[in-house]
Amino acid sequence: GAVVSQHPSRVICKSGTSVKIECRSLDFQATTMFWYRQFPKQSLMLMATSNEGSKATYEQGVEKDKFLINHASLTLSTLTVTSAHPEDSSFYICSARGLADGELFFGEGSRLTVL
Amino acid sequence: AQSVTQLGSHVSVSEGALVLLRCNYSSSVPPYLFWYVQYPNQGLQLLLKYTTGATLVKGINGFEAEFKKSETSFHLTKPSAHMSDAAEYFCAVSPTGGFKTIFGAGTRLFVKA
């Protein structure tokens, strides 16, 4: 199956700094990628849809200026958490949609801890 | 509008016992249905999917699920649980040809020795 790689898997940062998380589709071109946030023992919350070459579409309640998404190529989308605060600590997961039937291919996830 | 309901946030079975994880959905159009598994601190991995055709679908690791339109259900089963099956399982629905995938709340499966 298709492979999506996410980096870094873990990151610890100080409050007020910015953190960038990368999501790459390794063996297929993904015009659309999705970014999720997952709190402990909860389901995935869709944050935004990342579209190659255009602006991301954010879900209601997600701050665009806090969570910057860039999809500059068909194989790479990035999520930057700006001016991170402890409440931004979470598990962030990206996915890319397959062409045929809506199957999603997920990255390994990135655990962000903001001190 | 679409939604997914997973009955039971936690399910505990003994090793070798039947696994049954329940999923009901609502969809105004024919749905594509998925089961994903998540191990701790990892992304999600597809177990199986239903799009069209045979309503009983088989997936990886011995799991299978049956699409029952009349019951709007897509329950996940495995005849004999293994310790390695302990994980979080998510049922998901996406409309035919549609874009967004809606996830259920997840069911954590515990397997006792």
Show pLDDT as tens, one digit a residue, over chain B (113 residues).
778 999 999 999 999 999 999 999 998 777 889 999 999 888 889 999 998 889 999 999 999 999 999 999 999 999 999 999 999 999 999 876 566 788 999 999 999 99
**pLDDT value of residue B73:** 96
- Cβ distance A108 to B103 less than 8 Å, yes or no, reads no
Residue A17 has pLDDT above 90, yes or no: yes
Which residues make Cβ contacts (< 8 Å) with residue B46, sequence separation at least 6?
A1, A103, A104, A105, B34, B35, B36, B59, B60
**pLDDT value of residue A35:** 95
Which positions in chain B touch A43 (Cβ < 8 Å)? 90, 103-106
Q: Are A9 and A110 in contact (CB under 8 A)?
A: yes
- Cβ distance B43 to A109 less than 8 Å, yes or no, reads yes
Listed residue (A44, A8, A49) closest to A32, CA to CA = A49
DSSP state, A86? G
Which is it for strands B10-14 and A110-114: parallel, antiparallel or unpaired?
unpaired
Which positions in chain A touch B94 (Cβ < 8 Å)? 102
Nearest CA-CA distance, residue A106 and chain B, Å: 6
Q: pLDDT-derived band of residue A86, with 50, 70 and 90 as boundaries?
A: very high
Q: pLDDT-derived band of residue A22, with 50, 70 and 90 as boundaries?
A: very high
